[in-house]
Amino acid sequence: MNQENLQKNLSDKRHTLSHVLASVILEKYPTVKLTLGPAIDNGFYYDIDFGNESKLNGDEDLKEITKEMKKKINLGGTFSHKETGKDAAIEFFTDNEYKIELINEIAEKGEKITLYTIHFTNGETFVDLCRGGHIENLKDIDAESFKITHTAGAYWRGSEKNKMLTRVYGLAFDTKEELEKYEKQMEEAKKRDHRILGEKLDLFCFDENIGKGLPIWLPKGNIIKEELEKWAKETEEKMGYQRITTPIITKDNLFYTSGHLPLYKESMYAPIEIEGENYYIKPMNCPFHHRTFAARLRSYKELPLRLAEYGWCHRYEDSGSLFGMMRVRGMQMNDAHIYIQKENAVEEFINVIRLHEYYYKILGINKYEMELSLRDPNKMDKYHGNEEDWVDAENMTKEAMEKSGVPYKIVNEGAAFYGPKMDFQVYSSIGRSFSASTNQLDLYMGKAFNLEYVDKDGTRKTPAIIHRAPLGTHERFIGFLIEHFSGAFPIWLSPVQVVLISVKDSSDDYMRDLNQKLKEKSIRTEIFEGKEGMGKSVRYAKDMKYPYWIVIGDKEVAEGKVTLESRSGEKSSLSIDELIEKLKKEVEEKKID
């Protein structure tokens, strides 16, 4: 069985388990209302309205549900399904407004309404509204390869305007060994949780008085953000990118031209009426960059024209999907749009892939892959542009990905409404995967915005456009880096690069003089004078995961040297000049422990 079929089989197992979970809960709480239960990356969940029933009471209830599910799996059972009419389906789920809402939507789309039944070998049955995707026999599931893990609140359909439901989560893998491996990984991930470390290391915060999903970068976190941005700007300048700045607000007609209105409206903040016109806060930079290209007629000699901006974007993500820095409403993106002759687009796309690889290598990200999202064949009406451009964009993107040599997979859904989408999936040092950035070859927007350049033969042509953001947004990428490094940032990114600690008052002057010399060389320091206590100060440096600290006493003052200690346990005696040279070199080389 190939990898794609193996993944499909695992997804079907997970979806099957969501139904088994629902059947157990319905037996335990007969008056609950079941809603939706999909497979997800590590297992499955089911959203349930418990109404006035007593809620699940902690781990013991979850263990009991897992136990009952295992009984059903070992008992065995098969699936059958039948198509039914709208009225019959509504009658079957007459007391469940959630299922009725789904049935009406399916009917409006002209899709088939199907009911799936699990026939347990003891004669019991369980019926659910479902599109399918199950395994043939429950006994094909290893009863030790899954478990119910936790619950969480979830708004119906993800909207805070709707009722809060109880989401019951389960983990599921092919084998018990894979489940145990994943659980160990998650235990390590808890220690690295960017939300916990972000607070502990004083990097960022959120304030309800400002708004959900709108992060504040604290001074130490801001240093990391600015160092990344500085690096990206220096790197991109060498590669021929030009920096621009565009407004954070625009008249709505710009998004009608791009097609984001009305398609993207639910993810945009509400319009602001100004002088009789509607203005929107920008959720993405693309249309602004297209208008920048259109500021004057371009020549083929200017292409590829690489326009870059670390601009602010704001998107209205529903409250239920907000997650620390990984899913926010305000973000700054490592964004750029490359306007290029179509015949050169594959080569330029490969250059973008190489830029990703360069960034990842410096950051010690050793495992990554690409994912190409194509059109969903069941929703072809949502995509703009002509078929020829779509086929060309898909084929050219595949060609670039093939030539790059980076592993990739294809998913037949998830494309943007104007073109195929390629995402980079990166893996942290403990193996957790993250979607780091989106890159696209776009043959639609140039025509939508009437963008033109004069070719060498004097004719006017429309450029192809590459949308790229190798470092994603500051918020998401730094969230990933916090977990990747477990908060122990390499010296060039660390908010404080060396902590200076004097043992007693007599060494304070020497420490202050050293501190000044380091600051003059742009080395970031923090100082603790004798009254703070050496042990307490060293513990602080370790807890904050800083790369180095120096304890200064009478011996160091007399010899004019320092003893440099690192978080990895190394010690070295250095002169002041040797210290500065060492630290500067490690920063310039972007050394990683």
In this predicted structure, the answer to whether residue 166 has a pLDDT above a threshold of 90 is yes
Q: Is-contact 553 504, C-beta < 8 A?
A: yes
pLDDT at 7: 75
Token pair in block for residue 328: 């926010």
- Read off the pLDDT of residues 382-409 as tens digits, 9 standing for 90 and up: 788 889 999 999 999 999 999 999 999 9
pLDDT band at 446 (very low <50, low <70, confident <90, very high): very high
Has residue 55 been placed in a domain? Answer: yes
Q: Where a domain ends, among 431, 454, 484?
A: 484
Which domain does 17 fall in, by range?
A: 3-182
pLDDT at 521: 96
In this predicted structure, the answer to whether residue 438 has a pLDDT above a threshold of 90 is no
Are 75 and 161 contained in the same domain?
yes
Are 471 and 517 contained in the same domain?
no
Has residue 593 been placed in a domain? Answer: no
The interaxial angle of helices 219-238 and 345-362, nearest 10 deg, is 140
Has residue 490 been placed in a domain? Answer: no
pLDDT at 530: 66
The CATH number assigned to the domain holding 344 equals 3.30.930.10
Are 428 and 309 contained in the same domain?
yes
- For residues 54-80, average pLDDT: 89
pLDDT at 54: 64
In this predicted structure, the answer to whether residue 417 has a pLDDT above a threshold of 90 is no
In this predicted structure, the answer to whether residue 1 has a pLDDT above a threshold of 60 is no
Are 132 and 206 contained in the same domain?
no
Q: Which residue has the higher pLDDT, 12 or 529?
A: 12
Has residue 268 been placed in a domain? Answer: no
In this predicted structure, the answer to whether residue 6 has a pLDDT above a threshold of 70 is no
- For residues 357-363, average pLDDT: 95
Helices and strands, number each (H, E), in the chain: 18, 31
Has residue 187 been placed in a domain? Answer: no
The CATH number assigned to the domain holding 505 equals 3.40.50.800
The CATH number assigned to the domain holding 165 equals 3.30.980.10
Q: Where a domain ends, among 182, 204, 226?
A: 182
In the chain, the percentage of residues whose pLDDT exceeds 90 is 78
Residue 454 CB partners (closer than 8 Å, separation 6+): 297, 298, 299, 300, 460
- Read off the pLDDT of residues 12-41 as tens digits, 9 standing for 90 and up: 999 999 999 999 999 999 999 999 999 998
Are 137 and 9 contained in the same domain?
yes
Are 447 and 342 contained in the same domain?
yes
pLDDT at 476: 95
Are 172 and 228 contained in the same domain?
no
d(CA 263, CA 252): 13
pLDDT at 546: 96
pLDDT at 506: 83
Residue 572 CB partners (closer than 8 Å, separation 6+): 563, 564
Structural domains of the chain, count: 3
pLDDT at 2: 58
Are 440 and 521 contained in the same domain?
no
CA dihedral for 41, 44, 47, 50, sign (positive or negative)? negative
pLDDT at 429: 84
Computed over every residue of the chain, the mean pLDDT equals 92
Are 161 and 215 contained in the same domain?
no
Are 331 and 424 contained in the same domain?
yes
- Read off the pLDDT of residues 108-143 as tens digits, 9 standing for 90 and up: 988 999 999 999 999 999 999 998 889 989 999 999
Has residue 386 been placed in a domain? Answer: yes
Q: Where a domain ends, among 156, 182, 208?
A: 182
Are 476 and 527 contained in the same domain?
no
Are 523 and 578 contained in the same domain?
yes
Q: How many residues does the chain have?
A: 593
pLDDT band at 4 (very low <50, low <70, confident <90, very high): low
**CA-based radius of gyration for the chain:** 28
pLDDT at 56: 76
d(CA 327, CA 388): 35
Has residue 258 been placed in a domain? Answer: no
Has residue 308 been placed in a domain? Answer: yes
In this predicted structure, the answer to whether residue 282 has a pLDDT above a threshold of 60 is yes
